[in-house]
Amino acid sequence: SIHHGGSRGALIVLEGLDRSGKTSQCSRLVSHLEGKGISVEAWRFPDRKTDIGTMISSYLANISQLDDQAVHLLFSANRWEKRLSMETKLRSGTTIVVDRYSYSGVAFSAAKGLDIEWCKAPETGLIAPDLVIYLDLPPEEAAKRGGYGTERYEQLEFQRNVAQQYQKLRDSTWKVVDAQLPVEDLEMQLRKFALECIATCQKKTISPLWP
Ligand code: TMP
């Protein structure tokens, strides 16, 4: 695909509660951008393919137990181990669409009662997203979508708490979209935000979290 000489790719993050539709919107968005000849990759966190990701995965499946602080740092380390390749990709002109990032890291751990500033600290210095799209869905609606599986965090009360924590993390890079819109409408909104972001971020330098 096209590499616009010298310009960098955008870091676009999708966030939201479990069952908010992030994963399907991520792949729809990436397909659309690819179709436009834009160099783009789909990423996700946790990246379960690394050694750290394997530990996280068995924790989420309730196969292993870890204390809340330890697992928080594993999620963070899982982003740190990908930081360099993320920066390299962005600099080479590739846009990255990420399913979850540091906001999930902080929101889920803070929802367990960990101090929010403590939760943010290990994320400091990771690459700041150019755009965060938050798929807004009431926790009750998420629960109704069914398919809350057997993973550790898929509980209504907990998701309510996660939603509250997410609100504390909203900043100027966030676009909040109504996840209850028909998928096609949602898809159109995401395309518009993503294309605007890709066009404008080329003039901005890559900067660190958290400003
Ligand atoms: P996934 O379903 O998107 O693979 O995410 C797995 C679960 O992990 C989900 O409930 C959100 C949670 N999570 C954290 O607790 N901390 C993190 O840093 C990330 C990326 C996800």
Taking the centre of ligand 1 as the mean of its atom positions, its distance from the CA of residue 18, in whole angstroms, is 8
Ligand 1 site-directed mutation target among 23, 57, 60, most atoms within 8 Å of CB: 60
Give the separation between CA 196 and CA 7, rounded to whole angstroms: 15
Which residue has better confidence, 145 or 129? 129
Task: Flag whether 172 is in a domain.
Answer: yes
What is the average per-residue pLDDT within 54-61?
Answer: 97
| Res. 6: pLDDT tops 80 | no
* 120 ligand 1 Cβ < 6 A: no
Number of domains in the chain: 1
Q: What is the pLDDT of residue 148?
A: 75
69: domain CATH number? 3.40.50.300
Q: Which residue is listed with tokens 């409408």?
A: 185
* pLDDT tens-digit map of 70-110: 999 999 999 999 999 999 999 999 999 999 999 999 999 99
| Res. 162: pLDDT tops 60 | yes
| Res. 1: pLDDT tops 60 | no
CB 200 within 8 A of CB 117: no
What is the average per-residue pLDDT within 130-156?
Answer: 90
> What domain range is 46 assigned to?
11-201
Taking the centre of ligand 1 as the mean of its atom positions, its distance from the CA of residue 123, in whole angstroms, is 15
Task: Flag whether 142 is in a domain.
Answer: yes
Taking the centre of ligand 1 as the mean of its atom positions, its distance from the CA of residue 36, in whole angstroms, is 30
| ipTM of the complex model | 0.99
Q: What is the pLDDT of residue 5?
A: 55
- List Cα–Cα distances, 69 to 7, 72, 75, 117, 191, in angstroms: 38, 5, 10, 13, 36
Kindly state the percentage of the chain with pLDDT values over 90.
88
Atom 14 of ligand 1, residue of closest alpha carbon? 105
- List Cα–Cα distances, 86 to 74, 180, 195, in angstroms: 18, 31, 19
| Res. 149: pLDDT tops 80 | no
* 104 ligand 1 Cβ < 6 A: yes
What is the average per-residue pLDDT within 191-196?
Answer: 98
Task: Flag whether 208 is in a domain.
Answer: no
Task: Flag whether 114 is in a domain.
Answer: yes
